[in-house]
Amino acid sequence: MNAVPSVGVADQTAPRPEPPLALLCELTHRCPLRCAYCSNPLELERSANELSTAQWKDLLDQAARLGVLQVHFSGGEPTVRKDLCALVAHAASVGLYTNLITSGVLMTPQMAQDLAAAGLEHAQIGFPDIDEDGSTLITAFKGGLERKYAAAEALRAVGIAITMNAVITRHNLDRLPQMFAVAQQIGARRIEVANVQYYGWGLKNRASLIPSPEQLAWMNDCVEQARERLKGLLTIDYVIPDYYAKRPKSCLGGWGRRFLNVTPSGKVLPCHAAETIPHLQFDTVTERPLKDIWEHGTAFQAYRGEAWMPKTCRSCDFKEADWGGCRCQALALAGDAAAMDPTCEQSPLHQSVRALAEAEAAAGQTQIIYRDFSQS
């Protein structure tokens, strides 16, 4: 595959970008779990480098002034931060919609009450499985499932809306029908059935996690039937593995168009995996105003708009639907972040990428490499 990376070309004639819709605050990379598909980078940031409470609050002020509407508090596990409630309250006070993305394993009834009092509106709880052994296999954390159920109960009791994030691998997909029932039992209004996206730790473990095309076809039917049966009762979002798609997803609504990600130490990224693209330079909120980073930061300009796109994408009817797909995936699979996303069927690499996924699913590798701070 192409091993010569090319740098994105900023469109100098492009108008000033619209304000971002959403800000993801990765408050910390600390987490008691060690998930095989964690979306955090391979080089995790240590707690000593995390932004202070005052710095996060200043960032939230800047985000609200910039026009951001939603803030997602994530990690690592965001509940390890002692100032989480203070940050939620601050976000709410400046008019931001607040969402917590959590494993749930550290949630207590008191914490749920404090979060509700702080103004938290919504929580997404990650479920690697609904079977205890299956959950432990993915997270290397025993007893997690019961804690997740308890977290859902505690959050629901104080009126915080819940989404169940069911992360799908070939280890748990047989239990998909029961996952819909669990979502209803825990009082979720929405379930996100999300196949693992293969970046970072997920990419390292792809051969041990990816389902086969036959399993995907079965999942598609299962989701379709559940959508019909649960219409009006449970919203079902569904994300398939890109490798079996005909066209790529619109990655976060397009690079530098809708979304900002801030790492624990304050680096501002166009997407959570952007640090996998080695030639990009990322600004930090402690050194440059957020508005300036969003509008003029080189990492945001690199693949914003269409000037950087390969010719096939520039002349394609779907270019404003998927914005050329995922740059991190293009780098991981084609060796060039400015190449066509190989999950697009118009890419010359599409067939080989699909064949690779099929071969890995058929080989059935079982060894898992767990997320690990010692690689940092």
Residues interacting with ligand SF4, by CB under 6 A? 31, 33-35, 38, 40, 75-77, 103, 126, 247-248, 312-313, 316, 318-319, 322, 324-325, 340-341, 344, 346, 371
In a 13 Å sphere around the CA of 111, the CA atoms on its Cβ side amount to 19
Return the number of the residue (106 or 158) whose C-beta is nearest ligand SF4. Answer: 106
Q: How far is the CB of 310 from ligand SF4 (least distance, A)?
A: 7
Least distance (Å) between residue 313 CB and ligand SF4? 3
- By C-beta, is 197 or 215 nearer to ligand SF4? 197
Q: Which is nearer to ligand SF4, 214 or 320 (CB)?
A: 320
CB of 283 to ligand SF4, least distance (A): 24
Are 341 and 353 in contact, with CB atoms under 8 Å apart? no
List the end-to-end C-alpha distance of the chain, in Å, as a whole number. Answer: 28
- In angstroms, rounded to a whole number, what is the distance separating the alpha carbons of residues 109 and 153? 8
CB of 142 to ligand SF4, least distance (A): 14
Q: Measured from the CB of residue 15, what is the shortest distance to ligand SF4 in angstroms? A: 21
Q: Minimal CA–CA distance to 360: which of 198, 136, 220, 194?
A: 198
Taking CA atoms, 288 is separated from 59, 107, 285, 295, in Å, by: 11, 35, 5, 12
Choice between 85 and 151, CB closer to ligand SF4: 151
SS (HEC) of 107-152: CCHHHHHHHHHHCCCEEEEEECCCCHHHHHHHHCCCCHHHHHHHHH
Q: Are 64 and 17 in contact (CB under 8 A)?
A: no
* Residue type (1 letter), 211: P
8 A C-beta contact, residue 261 and residue 271:
yes
Q: How far is the CB of 64 from ligand SF4 (least distance, A)?
A: 26
Q: How far is it, in rounded angstroms, from Cα 164 to Cα 162?
A: 7
The distance of closest approach from Cβ of residue 126 to ligand SF4 in the complex, given in angstroms and rounded to an integer, is 6
By beta-carbon proximity to ligand SF4, the closer residue of 40 and 195 is: 40
Closest to ligand SF4 by CB, 33 or 88: 33
Other CB atoms within a 10 A radius of the CB of residue 360 amount to: 18
Q: Of 19 and 134, which has the nearer Cβ to ligand SF4?
A: 134
Residue with tokens 């060039």, as numbered in its chain = 336
Closest separation in Å from C-beta 5 to ligand SF4: 18
Say which residues have a Cβ less than 8 Å from residue 89's Cβ, sequence separation at least 6: 118, 119
Q: Which is nearer to ligand SF4, 45 or 77 (CB)?
A: 77
- In sequence order, the 6+-apart residues with CB closer than 8 A to the CB of 49 are 264, 265
Residue with smaller CB distance to ligand SF4, 293 or 302? 302
Q: How far is the CB of 312 from ligand SF4 (least distance, A)?
A: 5
Q: Which is nearer to ligand SF4, 175 or 319 (CB)?
A: 319
> Could you tell me the smallest distance in angstroms from the CB atom of residue 50 to ligand SF4?
14
DSSP 230-267: TTTT-EEEEE--GGG-SS---GGGSTTTSEEEE-TT-B
At residue 39, what are phi and psi to the nearest 5 degrees?
-85, -5
Q: Are 269 and 280 in contact, with CB atoms under 8 Å apart?
A: no
User: Given CA atoms 335, 338, 343, 345 in this order, what sign does their dihedral have?
Assistant: negative
